[in-house]
């Protein structure tokens, strides 16, 4: 148990501090306070789909970004016109094109004059749209010039990355008939993926809480039997059973912000392809341990596996290991390796979520808050930690550190693995809705504590604290998703909403019922005759 607990604790430290925010799979509306809006230059920066046809056959589709100026683009593909494409001569379109235009979309190079100058020249020459090719692989936001005069441009302007522009120029040089469409589809207001992600988070905490409470109750019953049989040696002293469980203390709760911040900065600074590979290995190790622990515990409930679970063999470095664990381990290892190898395929998110949920459930079983005082300090620290690294860090690092890490923007096409994610459904832009492990584990520690307290106190569901704390967590997560959608998909610090709901409900309910002092200091009922009060759960 010591080795397994060490592995889980290592993964807990690595994964918990790294991501405590909600984001979607990429914004389609970009805001820019540096380039303020003014008449004729007040468009949002929206992503634009550019499907391309060569000789009447669709060959590819590019993604560009719309300009601050010009008319807004059509959002429906069926309403967007298919327009013939022409290459500007001169290529920069800073002077009147020598080629005659009759409503074509004109492809131009960036540079030598302002974006608005290019658009005005293209419009005067008869172009129906202007597509500007960037001189870099990234997209650049096209704003208006520094002068304060109104901008009156009647054709849409879109920028494409350098590689897309190179491909289009090759098509045109081959004397092919090239045509394009320009449209910017809108995301649905509510995506089904967010509903499923909400359910996954809630179910994960439910499973972890019941497992934790059941383990605590069984340990308490064993303790009661020991106290009853050994009354002469009891002497009124309290006997505790760790059972491989680690209680968070006040120092650990206070150090959370410091350790979490240092590790988050390390992720932000070192984020790269090779660093992602290291995180994948760590995630697989933790996922194997978590999946193995969950499966062994689940199978042990069946009579067919009782003997295999109770029979042990000594393994070097690991010590005594049950036969059931030995039988399950190869499957868990193979599952994690398969996910790691094929994690870039479209359905790999299923494996990632299974490993992630198993790891979270195991963490919530092993790591516990002993009382509401420690839980309050931990969640309060996490509350300010989340707000700082999502919002305030923009002033220090010019970007939101938490959101950058959550999206893995510096890691290429692949993000960090310590997330639960589901593909956005019915979304023309695709992407994923994600939630960080910290958004489940941190509130989950307090929710699991509430159920342990209820069971040890023999409280009914309605008279206890778990029902209301669990409901508050679900409501807080729901409000987080509402805020995420109201903010056009910009990342939100989930703990900003979930901590007040979850912790606030627990504290107010405890104060109203008169249990707050007991919850705050002791965290479990005082049982002078514990073997009389506690009965095995049926």
Tokens 């590019």, located at residue = 62
Tokens 């910017």, located at residue = 184
SS3 assignment for 414-440: CCCCCEEEEECCCCCCCCEEEEECHHH
Angular region, 488: left φ>0, alpha ψ -120 to 50, beta rest: left
Residue 15 belongs to what H/E stretch? helix 2-16
User: Is the Cβ–Cβ distance between 122 and 88 less than 8 Å?
Assistant: yes
From the list 27, 224, 353, 386, the catalytic residue is 386
Assign 3-state DSSP to the chain and report helix, strand, coil percentages, each to 5.
50, 15, 35
Return d(Cα 476, Cα 10) in angstroms, integer: 28
Residues in the chain: 538
| Token pair in block for residue 316 | 């070097």
Classify residue 303 by its DSSP letter: G
From the list 191, 224, 353, 439, the catalytic residue is 439
Return d(Cα 533, Cα 145) in angstroms, integer: 77
| Token pair in block for residue 231 | 């009354």
CA distances from 415 to 122, 156, 159 (A): 40, 33, 25
Residue 138 belongs to what H/E stretch? none
Of the candidates 512, 515, 493, 538, which has an alpha carbon nearest to the alpha carbon of residue 22? Answer: 493
Tokens 């938490």, located at residue = 402
Return d(Cα 85, Cα 104) in angstroms, integer: 6
Residue 224: active-site member: no
Residue 91 belongs to what H/E stretch? none
Of the candidates 370, 441, 416, 395, which has an alpha carbon nearest to the alpha carbon of residue 263? Answer: 416
Return d(Cα 406, Cα 353) in angstroms, integer: 15
Residue 232: active-site member: no
Q: List residues with catalytic annotation.
A: 386, 439
């Amino acid at each position: 148990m010591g080795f397994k607990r060490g592995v889980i604790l290592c993964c807990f430290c690595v994964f918990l501090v790294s991501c405590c925010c909600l984001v979607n799979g990429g914004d389609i509306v970009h805001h820019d306070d540096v380039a303020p809006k003014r008449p004729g230059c007040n468009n949002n920066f929206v992503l634009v789909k550019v499907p391309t046809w060569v000789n009447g056959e669709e060959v590819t589709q590019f993604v560009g970004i719309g300009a601050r100026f010009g008319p807004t683009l059509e959002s429906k593909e069926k309403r967007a016109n298919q327009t013939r494409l022409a290459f500007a001569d001169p290529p920069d379109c800073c002077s009147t094109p020598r080629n005659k235009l009759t409503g074509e979309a004109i492809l131009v190079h960036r540079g030598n004059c302002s974006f608005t100058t290019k658009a005005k020249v293209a419009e005067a020459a008869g172009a129906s749209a202007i597509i500007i090719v960037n001189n870099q692989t990234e997209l650049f936001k096209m704003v208006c010039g520094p002068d304060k005069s109104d901008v009156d441009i009647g054709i849409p302007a879109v920028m494409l990355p350098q590689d897309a522009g190179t491909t289009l120029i090759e098509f045109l040089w081959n004397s092919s008939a090239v045509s394009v469409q320009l449209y910017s589809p809108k995301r649905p207001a509510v995506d089904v993926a967010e509903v499923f992600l909400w359910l996954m988070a809630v179910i994960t905490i439910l499973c972890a809480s019941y497992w934790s409470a059941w383990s605590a109750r069984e340990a308490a019953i064993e303790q009661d039997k020991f106290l009853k049989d050994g009354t002469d040696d009891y002497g009124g002293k309290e006997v505790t059973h760790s059972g491989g469980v680690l209680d968070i203390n006040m120092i650990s709760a206070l150090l959370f912000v410091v350790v979490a911040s240092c590790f988050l900065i390390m992720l932000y600074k070192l984020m790269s392809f090779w660093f992602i590979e290291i995180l994948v290995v760590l995630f697989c190790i933790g996922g194997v341990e978590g999946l193995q622990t969950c499966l062994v515990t689940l199978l042990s409930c069946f009579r067919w596996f009782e003997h295999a679970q109770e029979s042990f063999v000594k393994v070097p470095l690991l010590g005594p290991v049950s036969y059931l664990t030995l039988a399950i381990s190869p499957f868990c290892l193979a599952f994690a390796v398969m996910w790691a190898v094929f994690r870039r395929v479209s359905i790999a998110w299923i494996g990632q979520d299974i490993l992630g949920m198993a790891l979270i459930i195991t963490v919530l079983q092993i790591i516990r808050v002993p009382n509401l005082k420690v839980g309050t300090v931990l969640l309060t620290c996490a509350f300010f930690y989340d707000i700082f690294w999502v919002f305030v860090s923009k002033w220090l690092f010019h970007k939101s550190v938490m959101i950058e890490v959550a999206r893995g923007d510096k890691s290429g096409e692949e993000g960090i693995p310590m997330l639960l994610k589901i593909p956005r459904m019915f979304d023309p832009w695709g992407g994923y809705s994600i939630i960080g492990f910290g958004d489940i584990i941190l509130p989950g520690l307090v929710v699991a504590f509430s159920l342990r307290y209820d069971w040890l106190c023999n409280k009914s569901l309605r008279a206890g604290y778990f029902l209301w704390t669990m409901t508050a967590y679900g409501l807080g997560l729901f409000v987080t998703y509402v805020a995420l959608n109201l903010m056009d998909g910009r990342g939100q610090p989930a703990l900003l909403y979930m901590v007040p709901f979850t912790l606030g409900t627990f504290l107010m309910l405890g104060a109203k019922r008169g249990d707050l002092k007991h919850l705050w200091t002791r965290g479990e009922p005082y049982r002078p005759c514990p073997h009389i009060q506690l009965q095995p759960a049926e």
